[in-house]
A and B are shown apart, each in its own frame.
Chain A
């Protein structure tokens, strides 16, 4: 009896209620498209005459896992390439949804932007999505200009989130649990002090902070991405009977899944959506089976989770937009990133030294013993001269 009351009180106390964020995703709505994609340092890409081609879809929702593929209200897409040149990327229909597509011929970071505006209750809402995509191909060598690691940005972005680089970051650096992530928030090119910055991980860990006078917000990345051993993963897999029972209870929800676009082209709900519908047990399955799959393909320390960072910033500017007056502007911007487990968690230097010492002693002691065995002791030979 107390449990539901405690839950209600806890929810009421949380000041973290998020509005829907608009963000870019490189995961196609139709998973069959993945067959034509190649994994690269900057996520999944298509190849066109040996040139990486990136495709991004807009998604909208309260969190990473609760977002549906969205159709853009306008075609206000921008692309800033590695040489800081601004252009408009191509838009196309792909996997049943609108997407932008652009080539990445040069090494460095490409930035895609999208924004849409509307007036609600006398407030002009400017919602922006941003994606920062790395182009790096090891085949081209590693003697690149280190300045290419620095972030690029569109100076006229209404609200921009710039991920500041880690110390000694290069094209191979991964954000790992324990790293201090810093974001610079810029409003029309200037640091935005006091902006609310919310970071949410794929697992649902949320942290909210505000930017300082320099427009910088910091988060220490949580360790919520643990290796899942096969037998452990099996324990969380919903049994067929459970699945059926859970699925039978919510046929209407299944149809709702179709509405928000979380479905494959076969008309079936996507894997994640199906898991969500199948209740709490299957939610575990969703998380852990994805982990297991990722871990099996890419190895323990290369397993990655995503985070969504969202910024909200309000100004008292008045004006009118499409004939509707407003006296405030509420800006929001969101972008995603990925992080991997902290390698130190699964490493042991002392055991490493013990193994190395064992190797050293095996040869050292073995060779010494072998040499000693080969020394023939002096034997006096007596001759009977009689």
Chain B
């Protein structure tokens, strides 16, 4: 059996579990080993996890940079913003949204909470099509917060109390530092009106996150502005999720395993580039597809993992019965 066939038969769930565990430990504790991947990571390596983090989520420095006075931002100094963005793009283009499915510490944490729910034998929740259609826009709203609130600060329309507004709302700020024993972010800051509003909302969202992740798979990813930001540049990535519509029988297996309830993965038999804005590129759909070559993952145009009958049979434990 060649390497390609071995990869196609891989147990994606197990591979992903160990990969996520490693990535989580690396990003959350790597700082203790002096690992520093910089400030432009396209994932929630939270900068508030001060000592432990091995790099910083790009949304934090982006908000800092955009909050410069406009006279600086729209001058030669503003080029530094482009420098940080270029680095973010480089990181992102390599792995596309697999940053979410394999590396994001907050995503991994949600998968672990889902595992806990399964142990309790509780069924998961899902959104109706109408709810899905409405809620999917929230992440774009939060992306606007990431970009426009700092710009309004730079233009002196808002005070610096509203600085890093999204980070104040993000549950990663409260939850990731906990893994290094740091509870300092669990607070409401009354030093100003802006801080009070943001930190109160942040604490409320942290509570939503914990309960929501328990009931709904990848609860927060659906609202994640990083996911929306990724999707803007997803077409440029070297890493692609492709679908061969002619080979699809629309059996719906891919949709049923999808943590983000992305319906077009099953229904759309026309698009080739099937990556959607909510996708986290976890590859569960490829692993669950029983049709030879209907779904595949390409890197630089070369297929590295695709759905095969053989792989499907192995993963479903049907090989032994045959």
Contacts and interface: CB of A to CB of B under 8 A. Distances in A.
B125 interface: yes
Given A355-B200, A358-B204, A346 B125 contact: no
A141 B38 contact: yes
A355 B194 CA distance: 16
A47 B206 CA distance: 40
A367 B212 CA distance: 9
Contact of B215 (A141, A352, A361, A367): A367
Interface stretch (B133-141, B185-193, B221-229, B312-320): B185-193
B21 interface: no
B211 A299 contact: no
A373 interface: no
Interface stretch (A66-74, A186-194, A273-281, A290-298): A290-298
Interface string A357-375: 1111111100100010000
A11 to B, nearest CB: 36
Contacts of B212: 363
Interface in B29-75: 34, 36, 38-39, 61, 64, 72
Interface stretch (B158-166, B245-253, B282-290): B158-166
Contact of B161 (A300, A363, A371): A300
In this complex, the interface size class of chain B, counting residues with CB under 8 Å from chain A, is: 35 or more
Given A227-B191, A341-B191, A349-B187, A297 B159 contact: yes
A210 B161 CA distance: 40
Contacts of A10: none
B210 interface: yes
Contacts of A297: 159-160
Nearest to A351: B188
B77 A359 contact: no
B204 A359 contact: yes
Q: Is the interface of B mostly helix, strand, loop or mixed?
A: helix
Contacts of B80: 139
B108 interface: no
A349 to B, nearest CB: 5
B145 interface: no
Contacts of A47: 77
Nearest to A365: B211
Contact of B39 (A141, A299, A301, A359): A141
Which of A141, A346, A352 has the largest number of chain B CB atoms within 10 A? Answer: A352
Contacts of B189: 300-301, 343, 346-347
Contacts of B174: 356
A353 interface: yes
Interface string B189-205: 11110110001100111
A142 to B, nearest CB: 7
B159 A299 contact: yes
B270 interface: no
Interface string A273-315: 0000000000000000000000111111110000000000000
A348 interface: yes
Contact of A355 (B39, B183, B204): B204
B34 A143 contact: yes
A270 to B, nearest CB: 23
A141 B36 contact: yes
Interface residues of A, number: 37
B211 A361 contact: yes
Nearest to A137: B80
Given A299-B159, A351-B188, A356-B186, A138 B207 contact: no
A359 B208 contact: yes
Contacts of B195: 299-301
Given A142-B36, A355-B200, A362 B187 contact: no
A323 B64 CA distance: 58
A203 interface: no
A361 B208 CA distance: 8
Given A138-B64, A143-B36, A299-B195, A358 B187 contact: no
Interface in B122-165: 125, 159-161, 163
Given A141-B38, A296-B159, A359 B188 contact: no
A300 B159 CA distance: 10
Contact of B203 (A295, A355, A363): A355
B135 to A, nearest CB: 13
A31 interface: no
A40 B210 CA distance: 37
Contacts of B160: 297-299, 302
A83 interface: no
B35 to A, nearest CB: 8
Interface in A137-157: 138-139, 141-143
B208 A352 contact: no
Contacts of B183: 349
A162 B209 CA distance: 47
Nearest to B71: A35
B168 to A, nearest CB: 11
Given A47-B77, A347-B190, A367-B125, A138 B39 contact: yes
Which of B38, B163, B211 has the largest number of chain A CB atoms within 10 A? Answer: B211
A353 B214 CA distance: 19
Nearest to A354: B203
Contacts of B210: 356, 359-360
A296 B205 CA distance: 26
A59 B159 CA distance: 31
Contact of B187 (A348, A359, A360, A363): A348
A359 B61 contact: no
Nearest to B68: A38
A292 B194 CA distance: 14
Contacts of A355: 188, 200, 203-204, 207
25 contacts: A47-B77, A295-B192, A299-B161, A299-B191, A300-B161, A300-B192, A343-B189, A346-B190, A347-B191, A348-B188, A349-B186, A351-B188, A352-B187, A352-B199, A352-B203, A353-B186, A355-B188, A355-B204, A356-B204, A359-B203, A359-B211, A361-B211, A362-B204, A362-B211, A363-B215
Given A296-B159, A352-B188, 12 more contacts: A138-B61, A295-B192, A299-B163, A301-B192, A341-B191, A346-B190, A356-B174, A356-B186, A356-B207, A357-B207, A360-B208, A367-B211
Q: What are the 8 tightest A-B residue pairs by CB atom distance, in nearest-first order?
A: A359-B207, A300-B191, A143-B36, A360-B207, A363-B211, A300-B192, A355-B203, A356-B207
